[in-house]
Structure 1
Amino acid sequence: MVFDMFSISLCTAVVVIVAGVQFVLDTVLRRDTGAGRIWSLAFIAAILTTLCYLAWVASDQAGIAIALGNAAFVVGTGCLWLGSRSYNGRSLSVSAWIVAGAAAAVLVASLVDGPNGGAWAGALVMFIALAVLAGLGAVESRRSAMGRSASTVALTLVLGVQCAYYVARSVVFVTVGPADPFFLTWFGTITTSFLTIILTIVAVVSMSVLRSGQARLRGRGDSTTLLLDADGLYDDDSFTKLFGDLTQRAAAFSERIAVISVRLDDLPQIATAFGTVDAQDIAHAWRVGSRRYAPTSAIVGYAGASGIVIALQPSSIGDARRVASRIHRRLLDDFGSMGTSVVPVLGVGIAVSDIAGYDSEALFTAANDAAVRSASSPDASVMIAGAV
Structure 2
Amino acid sequence: MTLDLPTLLIVSPLIIVSCCVLYLTGTARRRGMDKVDRCWTLTFVALLMTTVCYLLSGLNTVAWVANGLGNGLFVLALGAMWSGVRAFDGRRPFLWVVVVTAVVAGASALVSGPDGGVWAGGWAYLLGLTGWSLASAVAILRGRVRAFPSMTALAVVAAGYGLFTAARTVIALTHGFDDPLFLTVAGSEVATVVGMLVGVVGSFAMITVRAPGVAAEADGERRFDPYLGLRSPAWLAQRADVAVDRVQETGQASTVVLVRVRDLDEIESAFGRQLAREAFERTAEEIVAGIPRDVLAGTVDHLPATIVVIAPGTEGAAASRLVHLLDGYLRGMSITDDDLELPLVADLAVATGDRSWRRLVTEAAAAADEAQASRSTT
Q: TM-score, normalised by structure 1?
A: 0.69
CA RMSD of aligned residues (A): 4.6
Please name the residue that 1:300 is paired with: 297
- Secondary structure, in 3 states, of the residue corresponding to 2:185? helix
**Deviation of residue 179 (structure 1)?**
4.0
Query: Shift of residue 212 of structure 1?
Result: 6.7
Q: Is 2:373 aligned against 1:372?
A: no
Q: Name the SS for the 2:332 alignment partner.
A: helix
1:348 is matched with: 348
Instruction: Report how far residue 267 of structure 1 moved.
Output: 5.1
Equivalent residue number for residue 248 of structure 1:
241
In the alignment, is residue 18 of structure 1 matched against residue 7 of structure 2?
Answer: no
**Cα distance in 1 between the residues matched to 2:118 and 2:105:** 14
The reply to whether residue 66 of structure 1 matches residue 67 of structure 2 is: yes
C-alpha contact (below 8 Å) 1:155/1:207 kept by paired residues = no
Gaps of 5+ in 1: 379-388
When residues 276 and 22 of structure 1 are mapped into structure 2, their CA distance, relative to the original with a 3 A threshold, is closer
Q: SS where residue 307 of structure 2 aligns?
A: strand
User: 1:368: Cα distance to partner?
Assistant: 0.9
**1:12·1:197 contact (CA, 8 Å) conserved in 2?**
no
Change in CA separation of 1:129 and 1:300 when aligned onto 2, cut-off 3 Å: same
Please name the residue that 1:324 is paired with.
Answer: 323
Task: Indicate yes or no: 2:308 matched with 1:312.
Answer: no
Equivalent residue letter for 2:312: Q
Count of paired positions? 354
Q: Which residue of 2 aligns with 1:185?
A: 184
Tell me: CA distance 1:290–1:63, structure 2 relative to 1, closer, same or farther (3 Å).
closer
1:16–1:46 Cα contact (<8 Å) kept: no
Give the alignment's TM-score, normalised by structure 2: 0.70
Q: Which residue of 1 aligns with 2:105?
A: 106
Instruction: Give the 5 Å matches for 1:150-165.
Output: 150-165=149-164
Name the CA distance, whole Å, in 1 between partners of 2:11 and 2:333: 68
Would you say the 8 A contact 1:314–1:320 is kept in 2? Answer: no
Give the C-alpha shift of residue 157 in structure 1: 3.7
SS at match of 1:121: coil
- Answer yes or no: is 1:227 the counterpart of 2:220: no
Deviations along 1:133-177, one digit per CA (max 9) or x if unpaired, are 223444555687854444444443433322232233334434444
Whichever residue aligns with residue 224 of structure 1, its letter is R
What is the 5 A alignment of 1:351-362?
Answer: 351-352=351-352, 354-355=354-355, 357-358=356-357, 360=358, 362=359
Secondary structure of the structure 1 residue equivalent to 2:256: strand
The Cα shift of 1:254 comes to: 4.2
Identity %: 21
Residue number in structure 1 paired with 2:46: 42
Between the aligned partners of 1:196 and 1:22, the Cα distance in structure 2 is 15
Distance in 1, Cα, partners of 2:327 & 2:216:
36
SS of equivalent residue, structure 2 residue 292: coil
Map of 1:111-260 to 2, 5 A cutoff?
111-113=110-112, 118-139=117-138, 146-204=145-203, 215-220=214-219, 224=222, 226-229=224-227, 232=228, 234=230, 239-250=232-243, 253-255=246-248, 257-260=254-257
Aligned-pair distance for 1:328? 4.1
Q: How far apart in 2 are the matches of 1:172 and 1:344?
A: 70
Q: Do the aligned residues in 1 keep the contact of 2:109 with 2:120 (CA within 8 Å)?
A: yes
The corresponding residue for 2:337 is: none
Once the 2 structures are TM-superposed, how far is the Cα of residue 297 of structure 1 from its aligned partner?
4.7
Query: CA 1:260–1:201 in 2, change beyond 3 Å: closer, same or farther?
Result: closer
Equivalence map 1:280-299=2 (5 Å): 290-291=287-288, 293-299=290-296
Maintained 8 Å contact 2:255/2:310: yes
CA, structure 1 residues 141+247, in 2 after alignment: closer, same or farther (shift >3 Å)? farther
Q: Within 2, Cα distance between the matches of 1:254 and 1:143?
A: 27
